[in-house]
Structure 1
């Protein structure tokens, strides 16, 4: 059977630190993404542009962050979730396999948090595999409603039997979304506790990969000093069997 290697990573807009100590990490993130050696890479908090930071950092990339992070031979898909005073950011997907189609669905629950789903249809060894990249809200009630809207989107837009991966930053501090996700026939590595946040002392399992029609084989979270510097999250990498 074919094995798909999938990674999900909240890159914190490619910038770390506060005030005078703020530093640009997007160039280090390029090497991090390459190290995943993943077939599918799901990214959150990806900048399309930011006029203020582009002036502050002399080494700000000429490309938007999704395309800047894309390894050779991969295809990038980006969709904006949030438009701010100086720019915009959202979710991205980098794929080693051909992208047949992509869509975006706004799942914002209130005006203070702009959230969205990025859906991509990939052709993997002749099989259509659907991937939804998510970044859910900070309030539990909002996350519950966003799972409901995810379910509505899946029922409306995806074939019932299509293999499906839902990956991203769920902001689910108490692992309360496992049951509503299971009600959508989406399951994760239930026996593994893989904390990804905060990166310096990971305690919370916020970043997850849920699947339907695939079998989870293994998952791990890389650790080390370099990873703690690049983002406030650690990446999660999994292998899935088609």
Structure 2
């Protein structure tokens, strides 16, 4: 079983301050990705002001609109305000067997959630977690611990797993915890940073981040800001799959649609790695 997956923060389908609607262009671009699973952040479930302000604003919630007639969708409402709400969403070509949203808000000023869906893929059920972590490092650490607890509590230890979204982790400080606790691999990790340790002095290997007790130094994709991606904010971690390819979709049309650009990866189901 091969899966093509993508993660994308769509900035609510509008430009900065909501001046222009981009949701139709985002739908066209997502369709061009030809992904089986699309992990979305900042999806507008409802926005009464945008609906009045912008011509041809979709009558449906954005996750339904983006799913169209060819995909199933699930939505987790996180941020609620007077004129609407937004959150995370998953688009899937396969049946969505179950969906649950977990509130991981760390303080009153940031409403965050983790959307957990189970996908009926051809070879196995796949557990998918859509992530959008907080802006503060202490919040992100607590939210990742909540994610780990949920996975350990509700998933079999060998269950195929995909965690994707906007981690806001520009320092790459969460990789070690996710690798150690969940046995996942980030899609841009080609394994070369963990090879050849036997021929290195332990001190040199530790400095390189590949020795026992060392923290893996994985160079994930640059996805923000969209016009000139520099910060490594968006990630995709997998378990039970071999990563065949991973790519940041920079340039046109992506540079004009959101403040992030998407990541796309091709996976091969590999239960021996689960």
Aligned to 1:9: 8
Aligned to 2:231: 204
Aligned to 1:111: 108
How far did residue 190 of structure 1 move?
A: 2.4
Aligned to 2:222: 195
The whole-number CA distance in structure 1 between the counterparts of 2:95 and 2:29 is 22
**How large is the Cα RMSD of the aligned pairs?**
1.2
Contact 1:168 1:207 in 2 (8 A): yes
Aligned length: 239
The whole-number CA distance in structure 2 between the counterparts of 1:106 and 1:180 is 21
1:131-170 residue CA offsets vs partner (Å, 9 max, x unmatched): 0001000001110111100000001111111100000000
TM-score of the aligned structures, taking structure 2 as reference length: 0.84
How far did residue 104 of structure 1 move?
A: 1.0
Contact 1:8 1:236 in 2 (8 A): yes
How far did residue 211 of structure 1 move?
A: 0.8
Aligned to 2:184: 186
Q: Residue 226 of structure 1 is aligned with which of 222, 228, 253?
A: 253
The whole-number CA distance in structure 2 between the counterparts of 1:174 and 1:135 is 16
How far did residue 228 of structure 1 move?
A: 1.1
How far did residue 225 of structure 1 move?
A: 3.2
Structure 2: where are the runs of 5+ without partners?
191-218, 270-274
Secondary structure in 1 aligned to 2:144? Answer: helix
The whole-number CA distance in structure 2 between the counterparts of 1:85 and 1:172 is 30
Extract structure 1 runs of 4+ deviating beyond 6 A: none
Secondary structure in 2 aligned to 1:23? Answer: coil
The whole-number CA distance in structure 2 between the counterparts of 1:125 and 1:62 is 32
Secondary structure in 2 aligned to 1:154? Answer: helix
The whole-number CA distance in structure 1 between the counterparts of 2:250 and 2:184 is 27
TM-score of the aligned structures, taking structure 1 as reference length: 0.95
Contact 1:129 1:164 in 2 (8 A): yes
Deviates more, 1:215-224 or 1:190-199: 190-199
Aligned to 1:90: 87
The whole-number CA distance in structure 1 between the counterparts of 2:95 and 2:49 is 35
The whole-number CA distance in structure 1 between the counterparts of 2:251 and 2:56 is 25
Structure 1: where are the runs of 5+ without partners?
none
The whole-number CA distance in structure 1 between the counterparts of 2:176 and 2:123 is 32
Q: Which has the higher strand share?
A: 1
How far did residue 17 of structure 1 move?
A: 2.9
* Structure possessing the higher radius of gyration over alpha carbons: 2
Deviates more, 1:182-191 or 1:32-41: 182-191
